[in-house]
Amino acid sequence: MEGVDHLADERNKAQFDVEEMKIVWAGSRHAFEVSDRISRLVASDPAFRKDNRTMLGRKELFKNTLRKAAHAWKRIIELRLSEEEASRLRFYVDEPAFTDLHWGMFVPAIKGQGTEEQQQKWVPLAYKMQIIGCYAQTELGHGSNVQGLETTATFDPQMDEFIIHSPTLTSSKWWPGGLGKVSTHAVVYARLITDGRDHGVHGFIVQLRSLDDHLPLPGITVGDIGMKFGNGAYNTMDNGVLRFDHVRIPRNQMLMRVSQVTREGKYMQSNVPRQLVYGTMVYVRQTIVADASNALSRAVCIATRYSAVRRQFGSQNGIETQVIDYKTQQARLFPLLASAYAFRFVGEWLKWLYMDVTQRLQANDFSTLPEAHACTAGLKSLTTSATADGIEECRKLCGGHGYLCSSGLPELFAVYVPACTYEGDNIVLLLQVARHLMKTLVQYRSNVLKAEDWLKPNVILEAFEARAARMSVACAQSLSKIDNPEEGFQELSADLVEAAAAHCQLIIVSKFIEKLQQDIPGKGVKQQLEILCNVYALFLLHKHLGDFISTGCITPKQASLANDQLRSLYSQVRLNAIALVDAFNYTDHFLGSVLGRYDGNVYPKLYEEAWKDPLNDSVVPDGYHEYVLPMLKQQLRSARL
């Protein structure tokens, strides 16, 4: 029934202050108030409608995205939104667009790698959207191996210019978002060549299109790379292909904060430490971890609410059992709920880490940089892989209806899954973490305490520390037996990836435990977070039981006790499940899911959505008289079958 909260009984079971949990999830009261206000602003604006997105053709879909991006910019100016508010507005509009790369990659690249003079020239133009930029690094033939990029930037000392050129087909820039149809400028990564010498890959600001008629400038071939996975999904983004035919740019459009080319063509390092470049990478990857928490929490919210609405089997007095009450459903769903919170808190820590590293770099302190680089690389890999898998699991948890576009889950998956590849392939990143571990071999405590009570943080933490340490040591010992270190690394890469993942899981568990040591206000809030922390850790222990037992971290008896505790924890989560996803504070507009509606009024809305499909515009489908009727009337020409 319209206007009735079908999940009211579930919400009344909550054993904690949901409003306070919303603040914990947002990170602060201020962040909550901004997000709450902006999300409602977007939800109430019909210009940001998105329920028809999966039914639009590519051209119409893309034009619709341009319209929304323009409307969003108009509202940002009219309402005089701060940078934080504008960022939240783009987030809640919830549509991949050229603006994502402009604000998320183009601007940070100039701020991180440009000189003060370059920033003064280009950043104001970008902030006013007088130019629109993208980040052109990946090529048709090279992605993760940045040092293998083929685009060249050759200095011409006579003209004081760089000549940007694509010498091969595989040197074509391929994938940059915003490049295909919109961007006027790009930060292009190319091999710097002066006087015949290759100085490696550097960044250059290159204008691509005329600011008058938007046509590509001479020597530039640019377009869209075509349809991608999913219906609407990431097809709102104009991922592009770009080729240069001896395109000339002024020397001062090389990003020169770290290294420079003089008027005479001499290549030299500036007095700014080269390590500063890594600050941008740390920033981008910490935002990706935060995005993982956002995407997983959306999927979990949909699956949890629908699991409480849906009833199947176990009929007593004519009332069937809620799907969420089945232990198999809980064992699949609740670890994902716990993971959403875990990723949120490790994302908060990474945000702090980025600020700490930035301050240290400015003071010429590089001591924490290798660990920060390894942490962000590993956590980007772990959280994005777990989130992509988790969204798909949530779709399956919703049964057949989860396969409908109106469930919101297929599109959420299609939009999210490229995160496993962009900004570093996830396996390649874990191997980078493994290299760091082999160099440092962090000495964890490895004596596990009595395991009778698996709810003690120190017991959990020491088990994860021991597992991570012993897996790393085992890899190091195996490497030492192989004469050629690089060959050994290749041979043992599968084991090294597992050791790196164990290290990253330890970080997430430890940061969740650290969060619990803070002063957390609100009735029952801290207790619920403790339950979720234990669910996350004990689920990982159960999932990777072989690692924990084979490395001698725990005994089979202790593993059995831990599993008993995990089952007990699921029962505690069950009472609060709906309230815990309500704490994400997502509007129905943002969720974009009939199954995940706040009021739980699923079935009438599913029925209503079905009739909106263009196929239902006519009772008799186009093509019936041409193809189906002749079949029915036996009027098709004879054929040998």
Using an 8 Å Cβ cutoff, are 354 and 283 in contact?
yes
Q: Are 529 and 515 in contact (CB under 8 A)?
A: yes
Per-residue buried b or exposed e for 573-594, using 16+ beta carbons within 10 Å of the residue's own CB: bbebbbbbbbbbbbeebbbbbb
Count of residues making up the chain? 641
- Three-state DSSP state, 24: helix
pLDDT category at 364 given cuts 50, 70, 90 is: confident
Tokens of 567: 């089952």
Nearest by Cα to 188 from 221, 152, 160, 155? 152
User: Is the dihedral angle over the CA atoms 171, 174, 177, 183 positive or is it negative?
Assistant: positive
Angstrom CA distances, 261 to 49, 103, 264, stand at: 49, 28, 8
* Arithmetic mean of pLDDT, 230-238: 91
Please compute, for residue 405, the number of CA atoms within 13 A of its CA located in the half-sphere on the CB side: 18
Average pLDDT estimate for 188-202: 96
Percent of the chain with pLDDT over 90: 81
Q: Can you give the pTM of this predicted structure?
A: 0.94
Q: What is the mean pLDDT of the chain?
A: 93
Paired tokens of 25:
């999830």
Using DSSP bridges, classify how beta strands 133-136 and 185-194 pair: parallel, antiparallel or unpaired: parallel
pLDDT reported for residue 453 = 64
**Which residue has better confidence, 423 or 546?**
546
Strands 173-174, 240-244: pairing kind: antiparallel
C-alpha to C-alpha distance for 232 and 405, rounded to whole angstroms: 10
Q: What is the pLDDT of residues 455-489, one digit of tens each?
A: 788 889 999 999 999 999 999 999 999 999 899 99
Query: Which is more confident, 74 or 448?
Result: 74
How confident is the model at residue 1, as a pLDDT?
53
- Which residues, including other chains, have CB under 8 Å from residue 287's CB and lie 6 or more apart? 104
Residue 561's nearest CA partner among 459, 461, 462 is 459
pLDDT average, residue stretch 174-200 = 97
3-state SS class at 93: helix
- Sign of the torsion angle spanned by Cα atoms 62, 416, 184, 199: negative
pLDDT for res 2: 61
Q: Are 92 and 39 in contact (CB under 8 A)?
A: yes
- Give the highest mean pLDDT range of 323-327, 353-357, 559-563: 323-327
Question: DSSP assignment, residue 261?
Answer: E
Neighbours of 444 (CB within 10 A): 18
> What domains lie within the chain, and their CATH numbers?
116-272 (2.40.110.10), 277-588 (1.20.140.10)
**Pairing mode, if any, of strands 185-194 and 240-244?**
unpaired
Query: Can you tell me the mean pLDDT for 102-109?
Result: 94
138 among annotated binding-site residues:
yes
Q: What is the tens place of the pLDDT at every residue in 531-541?
A: 999 999 999 99
pLDDT at 568 over 50: yes
What are the structure tokens assigned to 376, written together?
């962000």
**In the structure encoding, which two tokens stand for residue 639, read together?**
């054929």
Q: How confident is the model at residue 339 (pLDDT cuts 50, 70, 90)?
A: very high
- SS3 (DSSP) at 189: strand
Q: Which pLDDT belongs to residue 639?
A: 46
Side-chain-facing half-sphere of 228: CA atoms under 13 Å: 22
By DSSP bridging, strand 152-156 and strand 185-194 are parallel
- Condensed to tens digits (0 to 9), the pLDDT of residues 56-69 reads 999 999 999 999 99
With cut-offs at 50, 70 and 90, classify the pLDDT of residue 365. Answer: confident
Candidates 340, 353, 221, 242; CA nearest to 291 is 340
pLDDT of residue 448 exceeding 60: no
Lowest mean pLDDT among 48-52, 328-332, 409-413, 597-601: 48-52
Secondary structure of 576-609 in the HEC alphabet? Answer: HHHHHHHCCCCCHHHHCCCCCCCCCCHHHHHHHH
Q: What is the pLDDT of residue 602?
A: 97
Report residue 322's pLDDT band, with 50, 70 and 90 as the boundaries.
very high
**What is the structure's pLDDT at 641?**
45
Q: pLDDT at position 454, please? A: 75
The string of pLDDT tens digits covering residues 576-596 is 999 999 999 999 999 999 999
Q: How confident is the model at residue 164 (pLDDT cuts 50, 70, 90)?
A: very high
Measured CA to CA, the distance from residue 43 to residue 360 in angstroms comes to: 41
pLDDT, tens digit, 9 for 90 and up, residues 214-227: 999 999 999 999 99
DSSP bridge partners of 192: 153
298-313 average pLDDT score: 97
| Most distant pair of Cα atoms in the chain: their distance | 90
Residue 177 marked ligand-binding: yes
**DSSP assignment, residue 442?**
-
**Distance between CA 437 and CA 90 in Å, rounded?**
38
Q: What secondary structure letter does DSSP report for 508?
A: H
Could you say which of 139, 348, 423, 465 is catalytic? Answer: 423
pLDDT confidence bin for 638, thresholds 50/70/90: low
Q: Of 444 and 171, which is predicted with more confidence?
A: 171
Mean pLDDT, residues 231-260 taken together: 95
Residue 419 has pLDDT above 60, yes or no: yes
| Residue entry with tokens 């629109």 | 132
Backbone phi, psi, residue 247, to 5° = -85, 125
Question: What is the C-alpha end-to-end distance of the chain, expressed in Å?
Answer: 53
Tokens of 124: 């104001």
- Rounded Cα distance between 537 and 562, Å, is 10
Report residue 363's pLDDT band, with 50, 70 and 90 as the boundaries: confident
Q: Residue 451 has what pLDDT?
A: 43
* Cβ contact 147:104 at 8 Å: no
Q: Residue 275 above 80 pLDDT?
A: no
With H, G, I as helix, E, B as strand and everything else as coil, classify residue 443: coil
pLDDT at residue 77 tops 90 = yes
- 95 counts as catalytic: no
Of the candidates 98, 55, 27, the residue with the CA atom closest to the CA atom of residue 294: 27
The number of beta carbons lying within 10 Å of the beta carbon of residue 519 is 5
Distance CA 616, CA 608 (A): 12
pLDDT at 231: 85
Rounded to whole angstroms, the Cα distance separating 201 from 539 reads 43
Indicate the burial class of 458 (C-beta count within 10 angstroms; 0-12, 13-18, 19 or more): exposed
More confident residue, 147 or 213: 213
Closest alpha carbon to 337 in 597, 162, 533: 533
What is the average pLDDT across 288-311?
A: 97
